[in-house]
Amino acid sequence: MSEEYNEMELMTIVAGRDIEDEKIIYVGTGIPMLVTSLAQKARNLKITSIFEVGGIGPEMPTLPLSVACSRTTWRALRVADSSEAFEIAQSGYADYAFLGGAQIDKYGNLNSTVLGDYHTPKVRFPGSGGANAFASFAWKTMIIMNHEKRRFVEKVDYITSPGYLDGPGAREKVGLPPETGPYRVYTTRCTFDFDEGTKRMRLYALNPGSTVEDVIENTGFEVTIPNKIKENDPPTRKELKILREDVDPFRLILGRGEG
């Protein structure tokens, strides 16, 4: 990793570049909040962020501590409740969901509930919150997480948030809206998209300093490798300055990529 930035900063900036203007985005806790806030401040986007507790369209002066933090309602368009926040997604208005998780598999299924057996888990996490509803009903789901073999697994221990489940047509079979599902996965090593035919995760772009072999070695399932692979540009000085000074000045999340 370059001495000028750490892997968390790189991953955040790469993901923030893909957020489109004038979109409605459901934002999960942690890194997704970092990315969304950066996109607002660095690119002056008119996006509407929605948080599961009810904040709709806040400006977020600095990074919220959680989805229930008062910063998720600062200068918001509306302060609603969870039921209304979920209803907006169920009505088909959510362009994107931006989520993270403890595990992900080749079809983009996310686990943020348990490691091991559900009834006798090795580790129990906070769980779904709004992640299941957002991944179920948003038109596109963007995912961001550290790239480690223990996280990118052949089969998640528990499906908290549905990806393409077990392959083509699976979402439709269980009643989820057609043409919804995972769109991109941003990691500390690369960016993935999904093959339209197989619905499997596919290498889309490499981060600076990463190689195809590096991605394969740190992924717990067979990676689909296309003939042409893009390269993500490194962070600019402007992007780093805004991220460090305006978005996360106390390094609540950025500090995870240090050392």
Cα gap 17→27, rounded to integer Å = 16
Closest CA to 243 of 3, 2, 10: 10
Sign of CA dihedral 147, 148, 152, 156: negative
The chain-wide mean pLDDT, for the chain, equals 95
* 222 included as an active-site residue: no
Are 165 and 107 in contact by the 8 Å Cβ rule? The answer is: yes
The set of residues, in sequence order, having a beta carbon less than 8 Å from that of 175 and lying 6+ positions away, is none
Query: Residue 254 gets which letter from DSSP?
Result: G
pLDDT of residue 256: 80
Cα gap 256→253, rounded to integer Å = 6
pLDDT of residue 61: 87
With a cut of 70, which residues of the chain have pLDDT below it? 1-2, 259
The set of residues, in sequence order, having a beta carbon less than 8 Å from that of 33 and lying 6+ positions away, is 27, 60, 63, 64, 67
Domains of the chain: 7-257 (3.40.1080.10)
What pTM was computed for the model? 0.95
From 52, 172, 217, 245, active-site residue: 52
pLDDT of residue 127: 85
